[in-house]
Structure 1
Amino acid sequence: MEETTLNTTSRVRQALPAGACDSHLHLYDPAIIAAPAAPNPLADCTASRYRALRDALGLQRAVIVTPAPHVVDNRVTLAAIQTLGARDTRGVGVVFPDVTDAELRHLHDGGIRGIRFTVAIPRTAVTRIDMLPSLAPRIHELGWHVQLHMTPEQIVESQAIIEQLPCGIVFDHMARLANGPLNERAWAIVQDRLQAGKTWVKLSGEYLAANAATAHDVARKLAAAAPERMVWGTDWPHPTEMPNPPETAGTLDTLAAWIPDAALRQRILVDNPAQLYGFNEGL
């Protein structure tokens, strides 16, 4: 898989502010997912390869999200935090309810600041939403958040659980509200959580939307609702788009089109992720 963005950084039309953060990317351990009989293009998506992309695009900070193929093995994320630089890198891990307190502390010391529940695509899901009530109080004590990748319909179904979470919440990929015509019930839940505080949304995964116009409208709507709690991510290496991923620089161009105000992009790229992930606090 070639990442043409490495040689076409001129496609990033707006220079990035110092401290710009890619708040959503995945890295993979080739030893775990590579199979000679069925080559996996994701096996080449390592920390060293991402570092070259990050530098070419002018990004400085990153948040690595443990991908589904690794289930609850967060070692590749912890290792990548060190490779990319612990001062400017954080992680979001995946754990089961039987995780020990010692392991949670180990993950925290290694730069993990949240746990992800990816249930939007049931066939690839390794966690379940009913795991949340037992895990949320434990990670809340560490100052972590739960990161939810859910469809609007799942958000509505899980409203009671979501509203009772003691910890912070981060909705992946615009809460998938751009999947199609706006789900008013899901939007009301997300908006309520945003207004209540402690909830954030990632303006990412635009190619998961029904179309570009819908993605644009939803991104603007979310940013207007809570500009101080929006972050952005590339979703590199765009695993849902394999084997023909988009050029990563285009995701930055999309953000500039969604958010034409430079001061607001500064908040989304720098200030908001610094607060959410504790970049100014050190490990």
Structure 2
Amino acid sequence: MKCDSHIHIYDRAFLKPGDAQVFVENADVAAYRKVQTQMGTGRVVIVTPRVYGTDNAVTVDAIRQLGFDHARGVAVLNPDVTDDELDTLNHGGIRGIRFTLYTAKNAAVGFDMVEPLAARVAELGWHVQLHWTAEQIVEHEALLQRLPAKMVFDHRARLPLTDGARHAAFDIVRRLADAGRAWIKLSGPYLDSAAGLDNRYADIAPMARAWVQAVPERLVWGSDWPHVTETHKPGDAFLLDLLDEWTGDDATRERILVTNPAVLYGFAI
């Protein structure tokens, strides 16, 4: 069963008074079910969007609606989370925590909190999902080497167009992946593309293919639905077609869509 390993769910029922960040309409579970039908996917990993801060109720509820056999989640936490809260999230289908540190504006915690939180969730078998810039990956290489938890690097490790796979971050992440400690998400091509949707994000293809060639057994794919950053939104089936272009063969595509996410997120194989 194919897995979309990176989406966000927005549901007004879980907003708190005073939440001022941008809310996305028509991005609840019912809307995503239609996307699944279009793509032919049956599994999904839901990442708590920043409008909810460190309240992960919307993600846990979405997992409940979609069913534990078909959904997992990635939470956003701060250091005062209790062991009981972690246990509740674990039973609710959460399997990782995200550190969105590529810009301070979107950060719920700082780099100083990565290691202590990683140590706590490692005991549950969770991973830490890192949305960092390539430069931050290089700057914090020593921290990455110390982390006890598995790592998942968001959006192709955000390698810049100017360097692509020649950037030092590529080798750092590849070494971690080769050691069985890291995974990379092939997602969000629009975040770094200058070519844009009309040109099929063609400038992202070389670095995506570099990851496929280097560590196909450590890759997962995500649509990044509902594409919050984009005014001109891509079709999700189109994004899945891009994976065909990046992989070039059915066996690798099957590994990235089925086998790898089953291993990473604990789905039945």
Using the size of structure 1 for normalisation, the TM-score is 0.87
Task: Choose from 43, 47, 59 the match for 1:61.
Answer: 43
Query: Within the alignment, does 1:112 sit opposite 2:94 as a pair?
Result: yes
Structure 2 CA distance, aligned partners of 1:210 and 1:86? 34
- Within a 5 Å distance, the mapping from 1:202-281 to structure 2 comes to 202-211=185-194, 212-241=201-230, 243-280=231-268
- Within a 5 Å distance, the mapping from 1:67-78 to structure 2 comes to 67-78=49-60
Aligned partner of residue 197 in structure 1, secondary structure: coil
Offset, 1:159: 1.1
Give, as a single letter, the amino acid of the residue that structure 1 aligns with 2:246: W
Is contact 2:9–2:27 with CA below 8 Å preserved after alignment?
yes
Give, as a single letter, the amino acid of the residue that structure 2 aligns with 1:76: V
Change (3 A) 1:179 1:121: farther
For 1:38-71, what per-residue CA distance to the aligned partner results, in whole angstroms no more than 9, with x for missing partners? Answer: 9956132111110121123211000000011111
Offset, 1:247: 1.5
Residue equivalent to 2:140: 158
Task: Choose from 103, 106, 111 the match for 1:124.
Answer: 106
Is contact 2:78–2:108 with CA below 8 Å preserved after alignment?
no
Change (3 A) 1:32 1:107: closer
Structure 2 CA distance, aligned partners of 1:75 and 1:155? 30
Give, as a single letter, the amino acid of the residue that structure 2 aligns with 1:219: A
Aligned partner of residue 210 in structure 2, secondary structure: helix
Give, as a single letter, the amino acid of the residue that structure 1 aligns with 2:211: L
Task: Choose from 7, 11, 26 the match for 2:8.
Answer: 26
Offset, 1:214: 3.4
Offset, 1:124: 2.0
Q: CA RMSD in A?
A: 1.9
Is contact 2:3–2:261 with CA below 8 Å preserved after alignment?
yes
Is contact 1:33–1:43 with CA below 8 Å preserved after alignment?
no
Q: Structure with the greater relative contact order (CA < 8 A, sep ≥ 6): 1 or 2?
A: 1
For 1:64-98, what per-residue CA distance to the aligned partner results, in whole angstroms no more than 9, with x for missing partners? Answer: 00011111000000000011111110000011111
Offset, 1:179: 4.3
Offset, 1:187: 1.5
Structure 1 CA distance, aligned partners of 2:109 and 2:136? 14
What is the aligned residue count? 260
Residue equivalent to 1:188: 171
